[in-house]
Chain A
């Protein structure tokens, strides 16, 4: 083991963010961070025939924007790692048909964003590859179809429901020096606090975020004071409250902590229940909002803890509880 390993965490030295591309749906575009994103679509179809194709188009556009910024072609990248929320992670896999380079599909529900960034970083840090692109996407209508009800089904959502964000993020990571680097990662372990309500993701995932944040701080001997901002992926207003309370009970001083699900939308104006969720939620906020802030040196170091509920509707119906995971990446100004 190298001296850079600390328990479940790892400090990195030469992984940099070169470029990014973000696309989003109409609601995210109208939200408070709307102006941060590279491209916003007016409707959920994005000019395609089905929602599944629309999600793929968003992801393709995000990738194109990301590579165009660096004047690169698909073949200039060594490896692609991506994930989304669909069964058989179809959005990224079907897009990968157009990519002439190796592709790794990963699934970690809503934490796919941090996991794909972490894996790309590890491979670059190890010196195996020079450039990697991390791809993630989620779409409200496709997720709704798969995990909940048909789009037009008239049902009153429970108070604890979260709203899957529509958006896609592509991030190019390299070993050449740029303004912002991935400084440390913590891979989370799967935790299950016996929660079984699929309409209450915040409550199910808060313990996973708690576990990962605690591990990260213990491994690297840090605290909230070491970060300009700590964000969790999609705990929503409710989960955010729980996590804060949990950390405070553990005698941890919680400062400058927010949740991407609460940042992405205007919770008072937009109908998103407890807040946003999905891979795109943490991705859009991190790459659309936090990354530019880091580039402008308004923040020095931020911690992103993307949370994921690894549930399947079938197993939920079989009365299984929901396993959850959270992965953390720390971004720093060089």
Chain B
């Protein structure tokens, strides 16, 4: 059996999975996450009598805190199993990637374990966020100079 034929056979027998259910779940969990975020946002806006922009970091911090806590208690991955992208796309997913990496490496000590492994998965988001923002930032800066 050659490779092409094999690939054909394997594709035929591939498990179909639950793509529709996964998509629906992602939408549902992601949406609920948005509602929770909105509730927290409005709560802080009322408590501190501030604008949405000022309350945003407070909302982020609160969500990050709960995501880390749930990761520590071993609950987050059980939710993520069903939610899929509904939990890794919101900022909580970033918090989970950092806390899970840190926690996983705790047996290797403070420096080579927690310290150096914390950004193992989450680092890519920061890297590409900064690289793309710098590039696009320069472009926009140049545009505004000449316009």
Contacts and interface: CB of A to CB of B under 8 A. Distances in A.
User: Per the CB under 8 Å rule, do A and B touch in the complex?
Assistant: yes
Interface of A: 49-52, 145, 149-157, 159-160, 193-194, 203, 206-207, 210, 237-238, 241-242, 245-246, 249-250, 271, 274
A193 B2 CA distance: 8
A152 B74 contact: yes
A154 B15 contact: no
A237 B121 contact: no
B88 A154 contact: yes
Given A149-B121, A159-B17, A274-B15, A154 B93 contact: yes
Interface of B: 1, 3, 6-7, 9-10, 13-18, 22, 71-72, 74, 76-77, 79-85, 87-88, 93, 96-97, 99-101, 103-105, 107, 120-121
A153 B107 contact: no
Contacts of B120: 150
Contacts of A242: 9-10, 13
Interface of B is mostly: helix
A152 B71 contact: yes
B81 A237 contact: no
Given A50-B107, A193-B6, A274-B15, A152 B76 contact: yes
Given A160-B14, A193-B6, A245-B13, A153 B84 contact: no
B22 to A, nearest CB: 7
From A49, A246, A250, residue with most partner B Cβ within 10 Å: A246
Contacts of B72: 152
Contacts of A271: 81
Given A50-B107, A149-B121, A194-B3, A154 B13 contact: no
